[in-house]
């Protein structure tokens, strides 16, 4: 154990010290601080730590050994007994509790926990249609950039330094947003720990209990959950082949004012549809007329497989109605936790006051390293390579689906994003299909996670980021094997019909 093992001794306690030590360790075993098999410090080191004579600790250990609580092996040390025995020498009933009971009232959460839980389960499957592929990361460049950031010997990088992010990263991201996404130079900008944090902060700055926020349905559940946490109500707006249905939104706004709309116009999540230019114009105009904000979640930017670039909604915003949230999770790696929020400076000022409540500052070393990779074009080169690979994976998946599953599902070819949204034959119970596929090592998400009612919906989302082409073909083959058990039993036909 690299740490000093702290035990409190009480000078006013009449009990001899060796018994105080023995009792403290026995209590630690009982309450689960020490578990069967754990090593405890040698008598010499514990004596030093407690400033007592070594014989005192030895006497304590003899007492504990006599109770069967610890055992000492001369070659390897002193351990909590792996099988705790009671006084009669039988395995003890009061083995340490596996976890801690809750000693206070936990109010109801209100949020459907199964969303995050299901995601984690599917993500752990060996063939998962979720997550990214770490094999594609340029580790050597990242290591070089980290080393160079640390070699700068600027120890301030490791302090509470940067309110809106390392200035070099802020500038590097700003020039990326201006060049590639047509954003304005005057927008405020903050580096965040991931796109989700950018979305969360935008919502925290804007939304108050009782507000109504419009969201796309199907849509991004982790965005909804953040809105619901702020005490707002969601109103669902459908999505069609041109993106969010602005007509429906307008009718809704005329019924009841809304504080904001949360949208993914660039590659709608999960359908992958890009919002049409006319819808974009109308949405911006509607927001400005009714004075609500547009929270544009563009975490999937950079994954576009067609030549013609599509610019984000924020690039056409002349009225200051959009807050633009982006991420390096798709362009680079999700676990870096790097994203950003751009928007009117008054809002960014407010966000700067909220962010320290959950995260006092960012990771200075990482931010400087990524700034270097952006400045020397490494991230752009990696993103181009990645998009080429993802395009090939998308095509391999579409081909496998077409060949083996076209009888039960339909899909539109996504021009961007990292997943294929499919409509499944209603005769298939997609949740049973997912469960049965999971038994065969394949994880995929079903429709219920993208609809507000979280009920069964005949859709499946297949992300093609994580698996290479042959893994994906294997995954589809296993999905086919899992299919028969997901067929709904047909209702018995009427006699004579």
Ligand X SMILES: Cc1ncc(COP(=O)(O)O)c(C=O)c1O
Q: Are 26 and 70 in contact (CB under 8 A)?
A: no
Tell me the window of 134-142, 244-252, 292-300, 358-366 that interacts with ligand X (CB under 6 A): 292-300
Tokens at residue 424, please?
A: 């499944």
Residue in 264, 315, 434, 436 binding ligand X, rule: CB under 6 A: 264
360 CB burial (10 A radius; 0-12, 13-18, 19+)? exposed
Site string for ligand X, 183-222 (x = CB under 6 A): -----------xxx-----------------------x--
CA angle 421, 218, 451 (to 5 degrees): 115
- Measured from the CB atom, the residue of 195 and 447 that comes closer to ligand X is 195
- Residue 271 within binding range of ligand X, rule CB under 6 A: no
Closest separation in Å from C-beta 370 to ligand X: 13
The span from the CA of 254 to the CA of 257, in Å, is: 7
Closest CA to 386 of 266, 287, 454, 301: 301
Instruction: Tell me whether residue 271 or residue 315 sits nearer to ligand X (CB atom).
Output: 271
185 contact partners, CB below 8 Å, separation of at least 6: 174, 178
Quickly count: other Cβ atoms within 10 Å of residue 342's Cβ. Answer: 26
What is the three-class DSSP state of 102?
coil
Distance in angstroms (rounded) separating the CA atoms of residues 443 and 421: 15
Q: Is 395 exposed, middle or buried (0-12, 13-18, 19+ CB in 10 A)?
A: middle
Please list every residue from 62 through 121 that binds ligand X, using CB under 6 A: none
Nearer to ligand X, 336 or 483 (CB): 336
Looking at the Cβ atoms of 18 and 129, the one nearer to ligand X is 129
String marking each residue 149-188 x if it binds ligand X according to CB under 6 A: ----------------------------------------
Contact yes or no for 450/424 (Cβ under 8 A): no
Map tokens 């181009």 to a residue. Answer: 384
For 46, residues 6+ apart whose C-beta sits below 8 A from its C-beta are: 5, 7, 21, 40, 57
The answer to whether the beta carbons of residues 115 and 225 sit under 8 Å apart is: yes
Q: Which is nearer to ligand X, 29 or 463 (CB)?
A: 463
Q: Given the rule CB under 6 A, which of 18-26, 160-168, 279-287, 295-303 is the region that contacts ligand X?
A: 295-303
263 binds ligand X (CB under 6 A): no
**DSSP alpha helix (H) spans, 34-113:** 43-50, 54-66
> Looking at beta carbons only, is 78 or 130 nearer to ligand X?
130
Stretch of residues binding ligand X (CB under 6 A), selected from 56-64, 293-301, 431-439, 454-462? 293-301
CB of 340 to ligand X, least distance (A): 10
Residue with smaller CB distance to ligand X, 119 or 146: 119
When binding is defined by CB under 6 A, the residue of 297, 317, 363, 378 that contacts ligand X is 297
269 part of the interface to ligand X, by CB under 6 A: yes
Question: Does the footprint of ligand X cover residue 436 (CB under 6 A)?
Answer: no
Cα 181 to Cα 132, 196, 376, 383: the distances in Å are 23, 19, 19, 15
On whether the CB atoms of residues 205 and 231 are closer than 8 A, the answer is: no
By CB under 6 A, tell whether 344 contacts ligand X. no
Interface pick for ligand X out of 232, 237, 273, 299 (rule CB under 6 A): 299
CA distances from 254 to 248, 258, 317, 319 (A): 10, 9, 22, 20
Question: Nearest approach, Cβ of 7 to ligand X (angstroms)?
Answer: 42
List 140's β-bridge partners, or say none.
Answer: none
Nearer to ligand X, 223 or 344 (CB): 223
Closest CB 131 distance from ligand X, rounded Å = 9
d(CA 163, CA 148) in angstroms, rounded, equals 23
* CB 324 to ligand X: min, Å: 12
Residue 80 vs 191, nearer CB to ligand X: 191
Q: For residue 131, state whether it binds ligand X (rule: CB under 6 A).
A: no
Q: 39: which strand partners?
A: 79
Nearer Cβ to ligand X (41/302): 302
Q: Which is nearer to ligand X, 79 or 119 (CB)?
A: 119
- Asked if 283 and 261 touch (Cβ cutoff 8 Å), the reply is yes
Indicate the residue among 7 and 420 with the shorter CB distance to ligand X.
Answer: 420
Number of residues that bind ligand X (CB under 6 A): 13
**Mask: binding to ligand X, 311-340, rule CB under 6 A, as x and -?**
----------------x-x----x----x-
From 421, 386, 385, select the one nearest 401 (Cα to Cα): 421
Give contact residues for ligand X (rule: CB under 6 A): 194-196, 220, 264, 269, 297, 299-300, 327, 329, 334, 339
């Amino acid at each position: 154990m690299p740490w000093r093992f702290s035990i409190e001794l009480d000078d006013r306690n009449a009990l001899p010290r060796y018994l105080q030590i023995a009792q403290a360790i026995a209590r630690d075993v009982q309450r689960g601080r020490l578990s069967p098999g754990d090593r405890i410090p040698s008598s010499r080191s514990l004596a030093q730590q407690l400033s007592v004579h070594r014989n005192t600790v030895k006497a304590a250990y003899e007492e504990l050994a006599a109770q069967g609580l610890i055992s000492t092996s001369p070659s390897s040390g002193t351990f909590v007994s792996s099988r705790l025995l009671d006084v009669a020498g039988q395995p003890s009933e009061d083995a340490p509790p596996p976890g801690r009971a809750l000693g206070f009232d936990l109010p109801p959460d209100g949020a459907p926990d199964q969303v995050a839980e299901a995601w984690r389960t599917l993500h752990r499957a060996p063939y998962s249609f979720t997550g990214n592929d770490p094999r594609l990361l340029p580790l050597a460049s990242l290591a070089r950039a980290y080393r160079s950031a640390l070699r700068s010997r600027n120890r301030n990088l490791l302090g509470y330094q940067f309110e809106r992010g390392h200035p070099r990263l802020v500038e590097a991201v700003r020039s990326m947003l201006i060049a590639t996404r047509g954003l304005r130079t005057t927008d405020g900008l903050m580096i965040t720990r991931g796109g989700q944090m950018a979305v969360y902060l935008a919502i925290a700055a804007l939304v108050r209990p009782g507000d109504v926020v419009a969201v796309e349905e199907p849509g991004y559940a982790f965005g909804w959950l953040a809105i619901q946490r702020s005490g707002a109500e969601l109103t669902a707006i459908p999505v069609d082949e041109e993106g969010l249905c602005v007509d429906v939104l307008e009718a809704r706004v005329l019924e009841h004012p809304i504080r904001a709309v949360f949208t993914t116009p660039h590659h709608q999540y999960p359908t992958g549809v890009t919002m049409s230019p006319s819808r974009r114009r109308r949405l911006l105009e509607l927001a400005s007329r009714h004075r609500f904000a547009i929270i544009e979640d563009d975490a999937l930017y950079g994954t576009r497989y067609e030549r013609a670039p599509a610019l984000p909604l924020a690039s056409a915003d002349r009225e200051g109605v959009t807050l633009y949230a982006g991420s390096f999770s798709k362009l680079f790696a999700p676990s870096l936790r790097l994203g950003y929020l751009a928007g009117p400076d008054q809002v960014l000022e407010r966000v700067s006051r909220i962010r320290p409540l959950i995260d006092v500052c960012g990771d200075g070393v990482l931010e400087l390293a990524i700034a270097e990779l952006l400045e020397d074009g490494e991230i752009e080169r990696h993103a181009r390579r990645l998009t080429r690979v993802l395009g090939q994976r998308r095509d391999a998946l579409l081909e496998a689906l077409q060949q083996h599953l076209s009888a039960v599902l339909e899909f539109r070819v996504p021009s961007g994003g990292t997943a294929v949204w499919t409509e499944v034959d209603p005769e298939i119970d997609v949740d049973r299909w997912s469960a049965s596929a999971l038994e065969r090592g394949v994880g995929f998400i079903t429709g219920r996670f993208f609809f507000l009612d979280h009920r069964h919906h005949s859709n499946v989302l297949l992300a093609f980021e994580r698996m290479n082409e042959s893994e994906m073909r294997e995954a589809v083959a296993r999905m086919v094997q899992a299919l028969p058990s997901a067929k709904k039993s047909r209702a018995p036909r009427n006699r004579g019909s």
